[in-house]
Chains A and B, each alone.
Chain A
C-alpha cells in the first residue's frame, strides 16, 4: 500500500513566515513530545491527524524551548520566567494567536501563567482539539482498527483535570471509539495523580512504602479486570508513569497504555 501513502513535511513557523503565511494554529510539541521516544509516537499520531483533516498548522521546530513548567513546579521561578519570557518573544514575533499542545503541563502554563508575562494566546489541549474535530465530523473514527467492545479506562491528568477542569473532552474523544469505557473509582476531580507532577518526574520519590504510579496502575488494572485492555492517557508524564507501572506488574502483554491521539489515529486508519 506504499503508493497510497504520502510523506509528511511538517511545516515550521519560520517557513510559513518566510512565505508570508500564518497558520491557523501552532502545535506546541513540548520536550517529551520532541525527545521522549514513546511520546514522539504521540506527536507523530497527532500530526497525522492534523494532516489528515487538513488543518493549517505549524510547529516551531528547533525554535521551541521548554516552557519552564518543571522549573516552576520545582520552585525555580527565576528559571521559569527566563524560559517563559524568551518563548513569549518568539511566539509574539510570529504573531501566534492559537496554540494546541498534547502536554497538559505545557497547556496549563501557556494558558494560565504566560499571560502574566505578556503571552496572551488561545491555548487548547489536544483532547479538546480532537473533541472539536470529532464533533465537526472531520474525524470520523472509522477505516482503521475497531475498538468496539474493547475495555478502556481513562487516567485523568492533574494538570488537565483538577488544574483546568477538563474532564469531559478526553472522555468524549474516547466515546467516539465506541469502546467499553470503564471508570476507575478515583476519577475526574477525585482522580489520583500518576506521581510525576510537580517536578517529581525528574527526581527519585521521597521515602515511602510504595510508588504512586504502582498505586494508580493497580487501580487501573483492577478496573480493567482480567484480560486485555487499554489505559488511555492524555499527558506525557502520565504515559511514562502508567507504562512503567504496567511493566512493573508484568501486564504489558495484555494491557497497553495509549494516548488518546494514538487511539484516534489508529481508529482512523492513519497509523497503519
Chain B
C-alpha cells in the first residue's frame, strides 16, 4: 500500500536525481569549452579498451595491493547497486525486497552483497590507514595535495564505510524481524546473521532501525551522487567515457597542426592554395592560438581527462622530473586544468574547489593572470618534462597528461617565443646547420671515413 513514506521517498529521489542531472549538464558544458577533436574512429578497438582498462581495471594491476583493495570497492559498488535498484523499487511501490522472487539467484546475490560490503569496509579502512597513518607518499604529499584534495579523499572513504554500516543495519534488523515472526527469510545474509542479535529483540525498535538504515542508505547514496561532481570520486563515472576516447595511436606520435602545414607549404610554394579558414557564426575566420594558453585551447578530451582524474598520483610517482625534485607533477597539471575550467566556466553545485586553494609557502610561483598558463601552471613545470610518457603509461584511466603539457609548451614557444635561451640556440642551429648542435652541414658525412671490415675471402 502506498503510504506517506513512499511519497516522501519519491520526492527525495526525484530531487536527488534532478540535481544530479543539472550538475552533469554543467560539466558537459565545461567539457565542451574545449576544442573539437574527432575521436569516433575504431569503435571496436575503443570498446575493447573500455572493457579491459575501465571495466577490467587492467592498469590498476601494476600495483597489486591497491589493485585488489580497489577491486573490492569497485565490484562492491557494481553489485551493491543491484540492491540499490531494489531499494528504489521498494521505496516507490511500497514493496518489500521485491526481487526476492528470483529465489536462489536472489539468495546468491544477497550473499555476495554482504561479503562485498564487509570487504568494502575493510578496504576503505586500509585506504584511510594508507592516507593518514603510513602516509603513502603519492597520496599524502605534493604541492597539489592541498587541504581540499586530502579532505575530499577522506570524506569519500568515511562515507563509504558509513553507507555500508547503514546497509548492514537495515539487513540485520530486517533479518531479526523476519526470524522473530518465524517467516521465511528472503535471501542469504552471512554477515548480518553473525550480528543478528546486536539490536536486541524489541520489534518496535528493530523496525525503526530497519527503516532508519534503509533511509540513511538511500539518502546517503543520493547525496553521494550529488557530491561526485565536486570530487575526485567522479572517476567512477568518467573513467568509462574517458577510456573509450583514449588515444589509440602510438604514444610517441604528437599532434600535427595542419594550420602550420598550410602556412609552410604556402611559403615554400607561392602557388599553393591553403583551404579557406573556418568561419564563426558571424562569418569571421576563426583564428586559433598555436598551442594552449587557457582551457578553451585544449581539446574536450583533455578537459574530460581532468574530470576523470582521481588524484591517485601514480603519474607523479613515476615522473622522472618529479622523482628528482623538479617542480613538475603531472597530477597537478590535470588538477589545475579542472580548477581553471571551473573558475572560467561553471562550477558544481556543492563546492567550487578553487575556494579551497590555501595560501602558503609554495615553490610554484603563479601570477595573477586569469589563464591556465602562468595563473596555475608555470613555465618551470612545463620545461621540466622529458616527454617520456611514464605518466601516460601509469594512468589507470588513460589520461594523457603529456598532451596538455605539450600544448602549453607550444604556446610558450610559438606565441611568446619564451623558450629557455639554450633551447632557442638549438632552434637556431637546426635552422642554420640542419642539426641541433653548431656543426657545419658539410661535416655531416665525415663519420664515414676510414671504416674497415674483415674481407670475406
Contact B253 A7 (CB under 8 A): no
Measured as residues with beta carbon below 8 angstroms from the partner, the interface class of chain A is 35 or more
A104 → chain B closest CB, angstroms: 8
By beta carbon, the residue of chain B nearest A272 is B454
Contact A8 B452 (CB under 8 A): yes
CA distance A162 to B257 in the complex (A): 23
Contact A64 B256 (CB under 8 A): no
CA distance A75 to B419 in the complex (A): 9
Contact B324 A204 (CB under 8 A): no
Contact B453 A6 (CB under 8 A): yes
Contact B383 A203 (CB under 8 A): yes
Contact B447 A206 (CB under 8 A): no
CA distance A78 to B257 in the complex (A): 9
Give chain B interface residues in 377-394, CB to chain A under 8 Å: 380, 383-390, 392-393
- Known A77-B410, A212-B320; judge A31-B327 contact (CB<8 A): no
Contact B328 A66 (CB under 8 A): no
CA distance A190 to B62 in the complex (A): 9
For A72, what are the chain B residues with a Cβ–Cβ distance below 8 Å? 254
| Other-chain residue from B253, B380, B388 in contact with A207 (beta carbon distance below 8 A) | B380
- Known A34-B444, A62-B445; judge A205-B384 contact (CB<8 A): yes
- Known A74-B427, A206-B384; judge A164-B252 contact (CB<8 A): yes
Contact B321 A204 (CB under 8 A): no
By beta carbon, the residue of chain A nearest B441 is A62
CA distance A11 to B118 in the complex (A): 72
B429 → chain A closest CB, angstroms: 8
B289 → chain A closest CB, angstroms: 12
| Other-chain residue from B254, B328, B388, B410 in contact with A113 (beta carbon distance below 8 A) | B254
B55-69 interface bits toward A, Cβ cutoff 8 Å, 1 = contact, 0 = none: 000000010000000
Contact A61 B445 (CB under 8 A): yes
Contact A75 B451 (CB under 8 A): no
Contact B264 A162 (CB under 8 A): no
Contact A198 B426 (CB under 8 A): no
A269 in the interface (beta carbon within 8 A): yes
CA distance A189 to B391 in the complex (A): 11
Interface centre among B256, B290, B393, B406, by most A CB within 10 Å?
Answer: B256
A244 in the interface (beta carbon within 8 A): no
CA distance A5 to B392 in the complex (A): 49
Contact B414 A159 (CB under 8 A): no
CA distance A231 to B180 in the complex (A): 74
Give chain A interface residues in 9-51, CB to chain B under 8 Å: 10, 12, 29, 31, 33-36, 40, 43-44, 47-48, 51
Give chain A interface residues in 202-218, CB to chain B under 8 Å: 202-212, 214-216
Contact B447 A85 (CB under 8 A): no
A93 in the interface (beta carbon within 8 A): no
B423 in the interface (beta carbon within 8 A): yes
Contact A81 B414 (CB under 8 A): no
A117-155 interface bits toward B, Cβ cutoff 8 Å, 1 = contact, 0 = none: 100000000000000000000000000000000000000
For B412, what are the chain A residues with a Cβ–Cβ distance below 8 Å? 75
Task: Give the contact stretch, choosing among B28-36, B86-94, B139-147, B432-440.
Answer: B432-440
For A76, what are the chain B residues with a Cβ–Cβ distance below 8 Å? 410, 413-414, 419, 427
Contact A78 B437 (CB under 8 A): no
B291 in the interface (beta carbon within 8 A): yes
- Known A4-B454, A61-B445, A74-B426; judge A66-B434 contact (CB<8 A): yes
Contact B410 A35 (CB under 8 A): no
CA distance A5 to B419 in the complex (A): 49
Contact A85 B430 (CB under 8 A): no
By beta carbon, the residue of chain A nearest B443 is A35
For B321, what are the chain A residues with a Cβ–Cβ distance below 8 Å? 206, 208, 212
CA distance A212 to B263 in the complex (A): 38
Contact A108 B451 (CB under 8 A): no
For B450, what are the chain A residues with a Cβ–Cβ distance below 8 Å? 7
Give chain A interface residues in 168-221, CB to chain B under 8 Å: 189-193, 195-212, 214-216
For B423, what are the chain A residues with a Cβ–Cβ distance below 8 Å? 74, 199, 202-203
For B411, what are the chain A residues with a Cβ–Cβ distance below 8 Å? 75
CA distance A270 to B456 in the complex (A): 11
A217-260 interface bits toward B, Cβ cutoff 8 Å, 1 = contact, 0 = none: 00000000000000000000000000000000000000000000
For A158, what are the chain B residues with a Cβ–Cβ distance below 8 Å? 386-390
A161 → chain B closest CB, angstroms: 9
CA distance A199 to B260 in the complex (A): 21
B42 in the interface (beta carbon within 8 A): no
Contact A66 B435 (CB under 8 A): yes
Contact A61 B413 (CB under 8 A): no
A73 in the interface (beta carbon within 8 A): yes
CA distance A197 to B386 in the complex (A): 5
CA distance A214 to B221 in the complex (A): 50
Contact A198 B385 (CB under 8 A): yes
A55 in the interface (beta carbon within 8 A): no
- Known A43-B447, A108-B252; judge A117-B261 contact (CB<8 A): yes
Give chain B interface residues in 236-268, CB to chain A under 8 Å: 249-254, 256-257, 260-261, 263-265, 268
For A203, what are the chain B residues with a Cβ–Cβ distance below 8 Å? 383, 420, 422-423, 426
- Known A44-B451, A59-B448; judge A75-B409 contact (CB<8 A): yes
**Chain A to chain B contacts (Cβ below 8 Å), 17 pairs:** A62-B444, A70-B430, A73-B406, A74-B427, A81-B261, A108-B250, A108-B253, A158-B386, A165-B250, A195-B386, A196-B386, A197-B386, A198-B386, A204-B420, A208-B326, A269-B454, A270-B453
7 further A-B pairs in the complex, CB-CB below 8 A; given A40-B447, A77-B290, A195-B386: A8-B453, A47-B448, A61-B445, A162-B390, A207-B325, A211-B324, A216-B320
